[in-house]
Each structure stands twice: as C-alpha cells, then as structure tokens.
Chains A and B, each alone.
Chain A
Amino acid sequence: KAGVTQTPRYLIKTRGQQVTLSCSPISGHRSVSWYQQTPGQGLQFLFEYFSETQRNKGNFPGRFSGRQFSNSRSEMNVSTLELGDSALYLCASSPNSYTQPQHFGDGTRLSIL
C-alpha cells in the first residue's frame, strides 16, 4: 500500500513569492492534515481537510491556505512568503476519525531566500 506522497521534496523561493505544495494521501484516507516543522517550534498544526471541507485550523496567518479535492488529494498554498516560512511542511492522512493515527509523508523542505 503506497504511503503519503508529497511533492515537491525541495523548494527554494524568495521573499514575497507564493508557493503551492501537494499531498496525495494513502488510498482510502479521507482526512488530510498539514503541519509545519521548524527546529525552534517543532511540529505545529496548520489545518485539516475532510471531504473537501476545512474541519480544523491552527494558529497561522491567513497567508497559509489549503484545499482538498474530491479524490482526497490536498494542496497547501503560502502567499507573500517570509523568511520565517522556511520549514519542513508535512502532510498526514488518516481514514476518518480523530482517534485514528495520522500517517505522515516525508515532507516538502521549503527554503526562503
């Protein structure tokens, strides 16, 4: 069974640009969550999508947005990039319930110059 796939693996952008990251969940999983991982803050929850609807949102500015498609694939967009947005962005999927474990992809490493 294929795991969670994130593309691209690495990305370099400059301040002010925008970026879109992609996530394909495990087949059959309907919930997709996004996390930001930095050395200082660790893993922080961005948002979760379920059946194409944002179900939860973390404490991040509106520059961070996402969406989910009917096949459960998800995209995350960050506009007006700042140096502090440099991080590993992780996507995780789970079948449905909040109590079921989330399975993570290997992330997209975003570097802002």
Chain B
Amino acid sequence: EDQVTQSPEALRLQEGESSSLNCSYTVSGLRGLFWYRQDPGKGPEFLFTLYSAGEEKEKERLKATLTKKESFLHITAPKPEDSATYLCAVQPGGADGLTFGKGTHLIIQP
C-alpha cells in the first residue's frame, strides 16, 4: 500500500529561522512527487514536482529535494506569509490518484 508520512506535524519558527520539512514515502513505482501549500479555507496550491532521485527545485525561499525514500522542503529565511500547511503527495506507478501525507502546519512568527 502506498504511504506518505510527513514530519513534523507542526512547526513554529521565528522569522528568518531556516528549517526543513520531511516527507517519507513508500510507493510502488514513483511517477512523481508533489509539494503543495494550503492556506486556511483554500484549496492546495501547487509548488513543485520532482520526478527522480537527486532532483531539486527552487522557488523564492523554498527548495525541494528528492531521494529514493524521502523528500525535503527547505525553507530559507522564512517570512510570516510563509505560514501555511505544506502537503506532500506521490503519484504511484499504477493508475491511481495522488496519495497525500497529513501535512506540516508551519507558523512563522514575526
């Protein structure tokens, strides 16, 4: 069974304090790994797609990396507007929908 585990469940940082969010996965043939950001009352907003181990993607203060068993979302010098729930999802090799982790609730304090 495909599984995605995100840690920590919640993280509180001071503005400017860099950190990393973890996404561990077990999947039968990975087609792609996706990172989303979700704000309260909104749907998930797409951030990155990673397809193979060693791949990295960057966008502003965010950088996503992928290994064979996990992905990291690195947040550098975060700002309060980076506060959100960050979701990781995998697209398995079969004809299934995305399998999501439970998310990391990130709070950046000014």
Q: Which A positions have Cβ atoms within 8 angstroms of B?
A: 4, 33, 35, 42-48, 55-56, 58, 90, 92, 98-107
Contact = CB atoms under 8 A, between A and B. Distances in A.
Nearest to B87: A43
A67 to B, nearest CB: 17
A58 B43 contact: no
Contact of A42 (B32, B42, B97, B101): B101
Given A42-B102, A42-B103, A102 B46 contact: yes
B16 interface: no
Interface string B85-105: 001010100011111111100
A53 to B, nearest CB: 12
23 contacts: A33-B98, A42-B101, A43-B87, A43-B89, A44-B100, A45-B97, A45-B99, A47-B97, A55-B95, A56-B96, A56-B97, A92-B43, A98-B31, A98-B91, A99-B31, A99-B49, A101-B34, A101-B46, A104-B43, A104-B44, A105-B43, A106-B41, A106-B43
Contacts of B32: 98-99, 101
B52 to A, nearest CB: 11
A35 to B, nearest CB: 7
Instruction: List the 3 closest A-B pairs by CB distance, nearest first.
Output: A45-B97, A104-B43, A43-B100
Contacts of A56: 95-97
A104 B95 CA distance: 19
Contacts of B96: 45, 56, 58
Contacts of B44: 43, 90, 104
A35 B96 CA distance: 12
* Interface hub of A4, A104, A105 (most chain B Cβ within 10 A): A104
A42 B98 CA distance: 12
Contacts of A46: 97
